[in-house]
Structure 1
Amino acid sequence: MPPKLDVIPALRVHQAKIWAALALLLILYLPTTGWPALSGLNPAQVKTVLILLLAAVLWVSEWLPLFLVSFIILALELLWLTPAVAELGHTVSDALFFAPFFSNIILLFLGGFVLSSIMQKAGLDARFAHWILRVTQGEPATTLAGIMAACAFLSMWMSNTATTAMMLTMVLPLANRLRADTPFRVGLILSIPLACNLGGIGTPIGTPPNAIAMSYLATKGIQVSFLEWMILTLPFLLLALTLLWFALLKVYPPGTDKLAVWQVEAEPLKARQWISVGIFVITVLGWLIGGQFGLKTGTVALFPIIAAFWLGILDQGDFRALPWDVLFMVAGGIALGVAIDITDLGTVIVGWLPSSGSFQMLVGILVLVTALLGTVMSNTATAGLLIPLVVSLSLPTNQLLVLILAITLNCSTAMILPVSTPPNAIAFGSGVIRVGDMARMGTLMVVLGVVTAFTIGPLYWFLIIN
């Protein structure tokens, strides 16, 4: 008798956990073999490489929840790596490994998540989306542009996964009013996850790879303010959105179809909504100009957190519902970089990567690796793996910043498969789009990200930096 269907997923989960346990045991066993002596690395560097490999395997395979990998990294660093570093005569405090889990960047992202919750609970996100649809009046090309603009703008400030879910709820009824055989119906739905993926490029809180990038740049003394990040990235966000809009209209033309956009009578904003708007505006202004008054972005992020819960805009249930798993995953990637730094593994990595050759070649290799990894695994995990390696390179400050920006940009443009990003998976679940549709437009975005990061990206970034 075949096993029940609901038993099969449980068996797969148990098998995944067994594989994860075997991988951990293998990592712990390898230092006892003769391999470390052959590698030319000292014991602390060997263990750091093994922790890095274990994190890569677990992040790619998803045998364990991604946030749990961060705690495994922390545990191995405290219990396994620290004694090896001490044997080399170096004093290492546990606080070095704990610090990434509540750093300035983590606090910045926590403030961003609270802002996202405020917008959703007050219905401000839905109001903005309804306003966009009402302005476009159902003209296909204009409506598509409006939907993409709404998705990108909202994803700059709140979770792109939540934005995708909300916009799909609003746009699916519009798409269902079109003829079933019209290609524009597919293009309309496909635009939502792709625009949401791109929107994260625009602000430091838009997507976790941005936070990882800013955190590691700070460790090298490269401080990038909220406003500076937007200046460095917004042109590429606008370029990508424009190209995507043209491509969708070309591949999925609307023909003579016209969208029937319903009219929603907008009620006046209530007191709680006005307070929410005020918290949002003050926070964003603080992020944009706070640096001029010596305020760090994490310090500014305390305002929406305190104000939202003090004034009763959010409650304890909302606090528990915040995406803590994302925060801990980002922190794990940062902690991985700490290990690479204190063991001087970076000096070895310099010999592994072609840093002594052409800088353009280095950019090209790393953006291609980013695009490949980002297609098959989480963009946060991709950033957590690659950025710690890159910041260990002995490069001039401006080249290091350009390289980090190129990698971060390509983390957000890697969106070929339904599994590449949560927005892709949500949109694919609507049943309107196929894997081929997503792969076609996703490949275009990957190519754009790689080409941009290899050509006009460095030119623009060097111009702004200098």
Structure 2
Amino acid sequence: MPARTRPAANRPRPRVPDRLEPLTRKQIIGLLIAVTVFVVPLIVDVPDLDPLGERMLSIFLLAIVLWVSEAIPLVATAVLVIALEVLFISDQAVLPVPEDATAYSSFFGALANPVIVLFLGGFLIADGAEKFQLDKNLAAVLIKPFTGSARRTALGLMVITAVLSMFMSNTATTATMFAVIIPVLGALPEGRPRTGLALSIPMAANVGGMGTPVGTPPNAIALSALVEAGHAISFLDWMLMGIPLMLIILLGAWLLICAVFLPGDLTVELHMDATWRTDTKAVLFYVIAAVTILAWMTESLHGLSANVVGFLAIVAMLVTRVMTGKDLAGLSWDVLWLVAGGIALGDGVGITGLDQWILDLFNWTSMPALAVVVVMGALGLALSNVISNSAACNLLVPLAMGLATGVSGLEPVTIAVVLALACSLGMSLPISTPPNAIAYATGEIPTGDMARMGLIVGIGGTAVLVLVMPLVWSAMGML
């Protein structure tokens, strides 16, 4: 019997390859500058820097330009950094290297760094919370005490968003919370009240990530740098350092939003019901997530590293089939690779002595430790307003760790944590963070309002971070 042929209309059409988007003028200029700064240290003798250091300087300058200009995607720059380190400064380099050159596997090892595994566990739990609607149900339960007054509702939304962002992606948290309040915004009069309520969510999402090591990529970058330098911080220790600052900034942001946008007599009514899933998979997920978070917070009692706990959570979810390979494939791997690129960049800067060379360019050692902390905090805030906070932290952490060994009285933990938290406060523009972009896309927040509020909260929060928190951490015995 001859084979049947499908009607032409029903045949699958060949997939047309996606066309490359034309480069913008900014991207073209960024590429030209990147190539220039990469080549110059390779052909010009750099004083007081050996050949490996010159090659690493080329890679470092290239990363700066590409991350700032976004001439290629951020994750592409991260993997390019790893590739160039392997080809230029490892034992597999295409140019001559010393016999004791670093093994190429150490740079590839950044992709399996324990902090990456910790983040992977956090991402899978966050994905499961969305899959089993745990995030929306928690929001529905927690928001009930805050209904009535618009100011009280804004406070509730900010607290819930911040708590969820401590353990979930701030992007996913923002999307979830907007799904919850879009009907509420439509019921409010147009103008300032709607802007204020909408603005409360991205602000809280950005700030909430400060509270845990898995809350935001800059935390992971700083944590991995500290571990590499021999200064391990437990999950609970990070929370004890980050949550007090998070609460102070949340309170300040809420008071500012109330004063500028929300009249005291404005009321908001929310009608939300939680519909908890009770099937076997959902219950298993609730148990695994709860046990994991509890184990993260009690690391000092059972002795298991937070990284190991995160990996065991992945194993438990996959073995019980609560989550599948498809769920694993859908995680934010680009973020994980971006963090890995930052880890590899920091390793390369330290291995080649580039950190010490950069340190010697400025008279940092004559500056008091507090001044260095203030400068690095300001740099983190400024850079993360105009580029990805992960990229900003990737660029600054290697320098910060170099300063920690060269400036008298400067604690490595202080400078790394300050830098990570300062990068999370860069939120004045729609491009500054994904939560800002999501909020701006609703059409409820004018750019001017976002910029003004973001700058006020960012500058105020950074001032508290650099001037007050190190004293608090020292008094708590964390340093």
| Normalised TM-score (structure 2) | 0.90
Q: Give 1:174's aligned residue.
A: 184
**Equivalent residue of 2:271, what SS?**
coil
Q: Give 2:128's aligned residue.
A: 118
403-412 or 447-456: which moved more? 447-456
1:458 is aligned to 2:470: yes
Over the aligned positions, Cα root-mean-square deviation in angstroms equals 2.1
Q: Give 1:3's aligned residue.
A: none
Q: Give 2:53's aligned residue.
A: 45
Q: Matches of 1:265 and 1:157 in 2, distance apart? A: 20
1:321 to 330, 345, 355: 330
Q: Give 1:355's aligned residue.
A: 365
Q: Give 2:253's aligned residue.
A: 244
Q: Matches of 2:86 and 2:164 in 1, distance apart? A: 39
Q: Give 1:105's aligned residue.
A: 115
On the 8 A contact 1:44/1:84 being kept in 2, the answer is no
Q: Cα–Cα, structure 1 residues 16 and 444, in superposed 2: closer, same or farther, change >3 Å? A: closer
Q: Matches of 1:300 and 1:419 in 2, distance apart? A: 34
2:446 to 434, 454, 460: 434
On the 8 A contact 1:184/1:249 being kept in 2, the answer is no
Q: Matches of 1:266 and 1:88 in 2, distance apart? A: 63
On the 8 A contact 2:30/2:69 being kept in 1, the answer is no
275-284 or 134-143: which moved more? 134-143
Summarize deviations over 1:36-75 as a string: whole Å, max 9, x none.
24x3311111111111111111111111111111111011
Q: Cα–Cα, structure 1 residues 274 and 223, in superposed 2: closer, same or farther, change >3 Å? A: same
On the 8 A contact 2:428/2:454 being kept in 1, the answer is yes
Residue 255 of structure 1: how far off its partner (Å): 4.2
Matches within 5 A, 1:257-406: 257-264=266-273, 266-267=275-276, 269-353=278-362, 354-393=364-403, 394=405, 395=407, 399-406=411-418
2:65 to 52, 57, 63: 57
| Normalised TM-score (structure 1) | 0.92
Query: Could you list the runs of 5+ residues in structure 2 that have no partner in the other structure?
Result: 1-18
On the 8 A contact 1:189/1:427 being kept in 2, the answer is yes
Q: Matches of 2:274 and 2:246 in 1, distance apart? A: 32
Q: Give 2:265's aligned residue.
A: 256
| Letter of the 2:292 counterpart | T
Specify which structure has the higher proportion of helix: 1
455-464 or 121-130: which moved more? 455-464
Q: Matches of 1:238 and 1:192 in 2, distance apart? A: 15
Summarize deviations over 1:351-407 as a string: whole Å, max 9, x none.
134133211111121111111101000000011000111112324686221111211
Summarize deviations over 1:255-281 as a string: whole Å, max 9, x none.
432112124264564433221111111
Q: Matches of 1:297 and 1:403 in 2, distance apart? A: 22
On the 8 A contact 1:85/1:343 being kept in 2, the answer is no
On the 8 A contact 1:217/1:401 being kept in 2, the answer is yes
Q: Give 2:201's aligned residue.
A: 192
**Equivalent residue of 1:130, what SS?**
helix
On the 8 A contact 2:167/2:212 being kept in 1, the answer is yes
41-50 or 237-246: which moved more? 41-50
Q: Matches of 1:214 and 1:246 in 2, distance apart? A: 31
Q: Cα–Cα, structure 1 residues 32 and 276, in superposed 2: closer, same or farther, change >3 Å? A: closer
Equivalent pairs counted in the alignment come to 455
**Equivalent residue of 1:206, what SS?**
coil
Q: Cα–Cα, structure 1 residues 265 and 127, in superposed 2: closer, same or farther, change >3 Å? A: closer
Q: Cα–Cα, structure 1 residues 391 and 313, in superposed 2: closer, same or farther, change >3 Å? A: same
Q: Matches of 1:210 and 1:387 in 2, distance apart? A: 11
Q: Cα–Cα, structure 1 residues 282 and 84, in superposed 2: closer, same or farther, change >3 Å? A: same
Q: Matches of 2:96 and 2:299 in 1, distance apart? A: 40
2:421 to 409, 423, 443: 409
Q: Give 1:444's aligned residue.
A: 456
Q: Cα–Cα, structure 1 residues 284 and 334, in superposed 2: closer, same or farther, change >3 Å? A: same
285-294 or 451-460: which moved more? 285-294
Q: Matches of 1:204 and 1:380 in 2, distance apart? A: 14
Query: Could you list the runs of 5+ residues in structure 1 that have no partner in the other structure?
Result: 1-8
1:74 is aligned to 2:82: yes
How many percent of aligned residue pairs carry the same amino acid? 34
Q: Matches of 2:162 and 2:274 in 1, distance apart? A: 25
Residue 30 of structure 1: how far off its partner (Å): 2.1
Matches within 5 A, 1:211-250: 211-250=220-259
